[in-house]
Chain A
C-alpha cells in the first residue's frame, strides 16, 4: 500500500517536471534521461536479472536507429514506422550471438557482444546505403505529425515516458512470473537451476532477445529525436558502456535501478559537456572509468539497493508468521 503511494507520487513528479522546468535545456535533459532509462531498463533484463553482462548492446540501439533513418531515406517511411523492422533485426542478431555464446560462462558472452558491436560499426561505416561514415538523416521538415519532428523537447519527453512505462511494466510482469524467478535462479547458480528442470540456455536466450528488441526501440526514438545517426552515435562502444553503467550504478536486477542511474549520469554528462565544451570530450571516458571503479569497489549492487537496504534496516522486519498470512 505504502509503496504504491510513493510510486504514484514519483510518477506525478515525473509527469509535471517539464511543465515546471520549461527551459529548452532542462526539457531536453529530461527527455534524454527517459531515453537512456529505456535503453538501460532493456539492458537490465539480460544484464541485471539474468546476470549475462552484454557490453555490446549498442548494436541493438543501432539497429533501431539505422532502421528508422534508412527506411526514411530509401522509402520515405516516417522514422517511427521502422520500429518493428529494428526490433526484428535486433532479435535476430541476439539469437545469432546468444545461441553459441550463452552456453559458455559469462566472460565469453561479454567478449562476443563487444566483438559483434565493433564489427557492426566497421561494416556500417563502409556500407554506402547506410550512409557509410557520414551517416543518415531524417526528415528536415516534418511532412506530417507522424514524422515526430518537433523543435520542442516536450512531445519527446511524454513519448519517451510512455515507452519507459511500457518497458517497466513488462519488466515488472516478468519479475513476478516464472521467467523472472528462473532468470534470478540462473544468475545465482546455474547448475542448481538446471538440476531443478530450468532450461537455463533457453531462458537466457529469451531474456537476451527481449532485451535486444526493447533496446532497439530506444535506438529508433533516439534517431527520431536527433533526426540523424552516424556510426559513432548509433554504434559507438561508448553508448554500450553508458547503458551498462547506468543500470549498474542505479542497481542491476532492480526494476527502477536503471532509471535512477540514468537520472544521475545523463545530467552529469550534459553538464560536464557544457562546462568543458569540445575540449572535454575525452574526459567523459575518464569519468565513466572512475564510476565503474567506484561501483565495483563500494556499491556492487547499485545505489538503489543501498538505499532500499538502509530503509529496510530502519524498519523492523516482519515475522514469518505475518509474511505467511499475507501470502
Chain B
C-alpha cells in the first residue's frame, strides 16, 4: 500500500466538509476523485498533500503516518502535487521552475539543470525552457506544474483538476501526458470534473457528495451507481436511469 487514508474527517467550525473518508492506493494505480462542486474532494485532496491537516483520521504514506506533517515533509517522502489554479513561479524561467523541484534531490545546480531538462523533454516543454513562466498560457502552466512536481522524483503524484479550463484538444493532449507518466510506473491521484477523463484513466474512483464518500469502485461501477446519478443529476434522472439499467438486464 503506497498511500492510505483512514477515516479522514475535516471540519471547519461546525461545518463537516469531509466525513470519514477511507481509501487506499496500490503502487502503479490511478485513483480518481470526483463529485459535484463543493463535495469536499479538494479538501480531502489537501488533507492528503498536507496543505490541510485532517481534524481526525490518519494519512499513511509508505507505512508512515504523515497526517500531521507539512507539505514539505511529505514532498521529501515522495509525494508531489499540482494545483487547481496554477501556482507557477511567475518571474522565473520555465527551466528554473523545474529546477526548484529537482533541487529536492540534489544541491548541485548542474545536476538540477540536467534533471530539469529531462523532465521538460518528457512533458514537451523543452522548447520554451528559457521563457518566463508568467508568459505561458493556462495549458502551459498546468504542464509546467506537472513537470516541476515530477522533477522531485516522487513516488505518487496528485493532480488537482489538471484539465480544468482546457479546450477539448488540450484535454486530449493532457490525458496522453498523464498516460505517459503512468507508464513510467508512477502512482497517481487525480481530482477531476470531467467524467470522460476519469473513465479513460482511473482504475478506481471515489465519488464525493456533501462530504461523504457515496461510491467507490471502477469507473464503470460508479457511473451506474444510482446514488452517484442522484448526486449529479437529481432523483428523477436517477429513477429513469435505474429503469434503464433494469431493462438492460432483462
Contacts and interface: CB of A to CB of B under 8 A. Distances in A.
B75 A327 contact: no
B129 interface: yes
B89 A188 contact: yes
Interface stretch (B13-21, B92-100, B188-196, B201-209): B92-100
A320 B127 contact: yes
Given A181-B103, A191-B51, A320-B129, A196 B80 contact: yes
Interface residues of A, number: 24
Contacts of B149: 195-196
Contacts of B83: 191-192, 195
A114 interface: no
A182 B101 CA distance: 10
B117 A197 contact: no
Interface string A180-224: 011011001101111111111000000000000000000000000
Contact of B152 (A181, A185, A191, A197): A197
Contact of B87 (A177, A178, A182, A189): A189
Contacts of A199: 72
Contacts of B99: 181
Contacts of B237: none
A10 interface: no
A297 interface: no
A324 B117 contact: yes
Given A181-B99, A181-B103, A189-B88, A197 B75 contact: yes
Contact of A196 (B96, B100, B126, B130): B100
A184 B72 contact: no
Contacts of B6: none
A12 interface: no
A323 B130 contact: yes
Contacts of B117: 324, 327
Interface in B83-137: 83, 87-92, 95-96, 99-101, 103-104, 107, 109, 112-113, 117, 126-131
A195 B90 contact: no
A320 B126 contact: yes
Interface string A34-76: 0000000000000000000000000000000000000000000
Contacts of A178: 103, 107, 109, 112
Contacts of A188: 89-92
Contacts of A182: 100, 103
A44 B25 CA distance: 46
B91 A184 contact: yes
A188 B90 CA distance: 7
Interface string A305-321: 00000000000001010
B49 A195 contact: yes
Contacts of A196: 72, 75, 80, 100-101, 104, 148-149, 151-152
Interface in B61-76: 70-72, 75-76
Contacts of A192: 83, 87-89, 148
A136 to B, nearest CB: 43
A274 interface: no
A195 B48 CA distance: 12
B100 A181 contact: yes
Contacts of B95: 327
B81 interface: yes
A193 B80 CA distance: 11
A177 B89 contact: no
Nearest to B101: A196
A318 B126 CA distance: 15
Given A191-B71, A195-B81, A195-B83, 9 more contacts: A178-B109, A181-B99, A192-B148, A194-B71, A195-B149, A198-B72, A324-B117, A324-B126, A324-B129
13 contacts: A177-B107, A178-B103, A181-B100, A182-B100, A184-B92, A192-B89, A197-B76, A198-B103, A320-B126, A324-B126, A324-B129, A327-B95, A327-B113
Interface of A: 176-178, 181-182, 184-185, 188-189, 191-200, 318, 320, 323-324, 327
